[in-house]
Homo-oligomer: A and B are copies of this chain.
């Protein structure tokens, strides 16, 4: 466990830890937004807050598919522990993609994305167990870089 933590710390990228569970009885998909690590890689000024924005896409009409956590101060490791749930069939869910973005709000009130992960839900299992995993966050800067090559 320590070596896995060291690998993360040595990295250039921030990471987000997420947990997934699909409750077949209630047809409910639950995402646990657990923590962020290596936030210094987001290059956010120390006094500015950030938040996690999550969306299950493509959106289903009349279903709440967008979620934002509370504001968070950037530290090396940030505990979040917020939970997002949505109603969906298992087959419907498996056609979806989860988009997770770390955002901050500029002084003008505009939401800006700093980095994000995108997770295909094609193989979310139907078990009651929670599956937890760390995901690398890709900076928005690198996304725009490849669009100019």
Binding site for B on A (CB under 8 A): 7, 10-13, 15, 53, 55, 57-59, 66, 91, 94-97, 99, 111, 113, 116-123, 133-139, 142-143, 145-147, 149
Contacts and interface: CB of A to CB of B under 8 A. Distances in A.
Contacts of A122: 15, 133-136
Nearest to A121: B136
A12 B95 contact: yes
9 contacts: A10-B91, A12-B58, A13-B96, A53-B146, A57-B146, A97-B137, A99-B146, A120-B134, A122-B135
Contacts of A119: 120
Contact of A94 (B7, B133, B145): B7
A123 B133 contact: yes
Contact of A95 (B11, B97, B120): B11
A12 B95 CA distance: 7
Contacts of A10: 91
A149 B58 contact: no
B99 A139 contact: no
A121 B145 CA distance: 19
A136 B96 contact: yes
